[in-house]
Amino acid sequence: MSSTRYELLAEDLEKQGINVSEVKQLLKQQHIETPSWGYGNSGTRFGVFSQEGAARNATERLEDAATVHKYTGVAPTVALHIPWDITDDWEALKQQAADLDIGIGAINPNVFQDQQYKLGSVCNPDEGIRRQAINHMLECVGIMNATGSTDLSLWFADGTNFPGQANFRQRKQWMYTALQEVYQALSPDQRMLIEYKFFEPAFYHTDLADWGTAYLIASKLGEQAQVLIDLGHHPQGTNIEFIVAYLIDEGKLGGFHFNCRKYADDDLTVGSVNPQELSLIYHELVTAELDPNTETDIAYMIDQSHNLKPKVEASIQSVCNLQTAYARALIVDRDQLAEAQAEGEIIDAERVLQRAAETDVRPLLEQVRVEMNRDPDPLTAYRKSGYYKQICQARVGGGGQGWA
């Protein structure tokens, strides 16, 4: 790392009125949760693509997540997917995570993969299948209690493919009744994060299709229910940063699944296609975070299945992209922006955001990592560590969980 590059950047930012010390402190406190399913073999609707060294069980997924945190310093928790990460001893898994210097994050029930969910889970016309889905979510609340997790992260594939297939209002009532029962099982320090998706696998209608339906359900349930935004779950051209601001203002933005998509899937590396959109989203997030009159408690999580890229490397790359977006949002001159907005100076307001988005913040991030006793280049440091060769040699055989 060139200290001169950092010093020049820091000097320029200070001239703009940016407190570089405060920016660095916030960057050191950044918390990005990686998903266990990002470390195992996974695929698309067409098949599973196996990789050497892919994690085969929850223990190995924790090892990979801890490795990402080791080199980035800002990924201290890992989300679990049940039953993919099921174990007979949750206390032992929790202790393993602690020994690896990470923690257990959100618990994600799986109510979409089994054959009985072909016509839906909590909105299935079969009462017995609806009960099975509810019981599984209650089981996941028990896992939260055992692991210390505070977030129950819910996504449903429920929907229909053909007109007349189902009664929309009846399904809405089934959805609310199911979530109400699960909500009542939460302890006071836990919350329910309700995710939505525009379409897929349901192509005629989806029961939780957009932020409005998720917001409505969360509002009816109570304060411990909030909306989770997944960046890949919107129609093309959706202004996601507006949704972010609206939900924050309502106190209902609870979580983020960061990823990226070009068309219909959501498993591309965050920031890989439209980094400008990511910068604008982070601007809204940071503006709220820095506002003393706004309360935020947002879980920043990655939701990606790395089917082609090496899994640990892809996770490190994703975390680094989020660090970059956060840094750029932190150096926005908000006083100048507010002045331009108040005066109706549209071009000047836009230029404030552009200047931050176009700033090369790599020297700043490198300095932050050095001060955190991390290598300034996480991906290169990981590649030199020999970890990938080690797991390729150790993880031979075994079926794996999840898609595999």
**What's the mean pLDDT in 83-96?**
97
Tell me: pLDDT of 398 over 70: no
Using pLDDT thresholds of 50, 70 and 90, give the confidence band for residue 402.
Answer: low
**What's the mean pLDDT in 114-133?**
97
Spelled out in words, what is the top-level CATH class assigned to the domain 30-332?
alpha beta
Check residue 44 and give its pLDDT.
Answer: 74
**Three-state secondary structure along the chain?**
CCHHHHHHHHHHHHHCCCCHHHHHHHHHCCCCEEEHHHCECEEECCEEECCCCCECCHHHHHHHHHHHHHHHCCCCEEEEEECCCCCCCHHHHHHHHHHCCCEEEEEEECCCCCHHHCCCCCCCCCHHHHHHHHHHHHHHHHHHHHHCCCEEEECCCCEECCCCCCCHHHHHHHHHHHHHHHHCCCCCCCEEEEECCCCCCCCCEECCCCHHHHHHHHHHHCCCEEEEEECCCCCCCCCHHHHHHHHHHCCCEEEEEECECCCCCCCECCCCCCHHHHHHHHHHHHHHHHCCCCCCCCEEEECCCCCCCCHHHHHHHHHHHHHHHHHHHHCCCHHHHHHHHHCCCHHHHHHHHHHHHHCCCHHHHHHHHHHCCCCCCHHHHHHHHCHHHHHHHHCCCCCCCCCC
Domain residue ranges in the chain: 30-332
What is the model's pTM? 0.96
Tell me: pLDDT of 400 over 70: no
160-175 pLDDT, tens digit per residue, is 999 999 999 999 999 9
